[in-house]
Amino acid sequence: ADHVSTYAEFVQTHSPSGEYMFQFDGDEQFYVDLDKKETVWRLPEFIHTFDYDARRGIADIVMARKNLDTLIQRSNHTRATNEPPEVTVFPKEPVELGQPNTLICHVDKFFPPVLNVTWLRNGRAVTEGVAETIFLPSTEFRFHKFHYLTFVPSAEDVYDCRVEHWGLAGPLLGHWEAQEPIQVPETTETVVCALGLLVGLAGIIAGTIVLKSRRPDSVPGCRAPC
């Protein structure tokens, strides 16, 4: 199968001011921390694939910022259209009440790369056990991003991933709560069993009536008495 290595870079006049990253087959390999001026590897197995000097990425960002300033001065300052995000919340592992798990909030197909994401538990903001990725390239020159929350599923707790973006009229909530398996009431089971029994008895009775209603001379190759 073919493999794809993607390089993405952007600069903008608002925070975050820029980003520089590589990904392989859709998985983020590393990004350059522009403040600390170092390469940050997303997954340990990617560290030994090749070396990357963060200074290369920083130099590209510096040049891109100069080009952005030039474009702003020479253009008519027409702003790009804000594209609102789509939000999906789902657990990393199959849910078992009382067992630690991770909620994933996937924010997709938005532009520009500016977001404010807050986890809510029962309507209250949660700040512990949270993590996030950088902005990742999506389709049609848009972006997507993942936010994570470690939690212990409970039947009493509900969770929301609240997303704010320039393309939205107000905050967008991605909701999640534990779904308990549906228990069939005993009365329903009794009715179903009773109906099954009645259908079975009706079949037996109908078969008996048919057998009794047939005359002996109706049997092929046999004359009464047979």
Q: Is 80 exceeded by the pLDDT of residue 143? A: yes
What's the confidence (pLDDT) of residue 180? 66
Give which of 15, 52, 48, 54 is closest to 34, Cα–Cα: 54
Structure tokens at 13: 């006049």
Burial of 103 (0-12, 13-18, 19+ CB in 10 A): buried
In this predicted structure, what is the pLDDT of residue 182?
39
SS3 147: strand
Token pair 């960002």: residue: 61
What pLDDT does residue 215 have?
45
Fold classification of 86-177 is Immunoglobulin-like (2.60.40)
Instruction: Give the residue extent of every domain in the chain.
Output: 5-75, 86-177
Q: pLDDT-derived band of residue 177, with 50, 70 and 90 as boundaries?
A: very high
Q: What is the mean pLDDT of the chain?
A: 82
| DSSP state string for 149-203 | EEE---TT-EEEEEEE-TT-SS-EEEEEE--PPPPPPHHHHHHHHHHHHHHHHHH
- Compute the distance between CA of residue 103 and CA of residue 149 in angstroms, rounded to an integer: 5
Give the whole-angstrom CA distance, residue 89 versus residue 159.
9
Query: Chain centroid to CA 74: how far?
Result: 41
Give the pLDDT confidence of 25-75 residue by residue, as tens digits: 888 889 999 999 999 988 777 776 778 899 999 999 999 999 999 998 888
Is there a shared CATH topology between the 5-75 domain and the 86-177 domain? Answer: no
Strands 136-137 and 5-11: unpaired
pLDDT on residue 212: 42
What is the CATH code of the structural domain delimited by 5-75? 3.10.320.10
Residues 6+ apart with CB under 8 A from 54: 32, 33, 37, 38, 39
pLDDT at 1: 57
> Tens digits of per-residue pLDDT, 61-116?
999 999 999 998 888 777 789 999 999 999 999 999 999 999 999 999 999 999 99
Distance of CA 160 to CAs 83, 105, 147, 154, 176, Å?
22, 9, 12, 14, 6
Q: What is the pTM of this model?
A: 0.74
Instruction: Provide the phi-psi class of 25: left if phi over 0, else alpha when psi is between -120 and 50, else beta.
Output: left
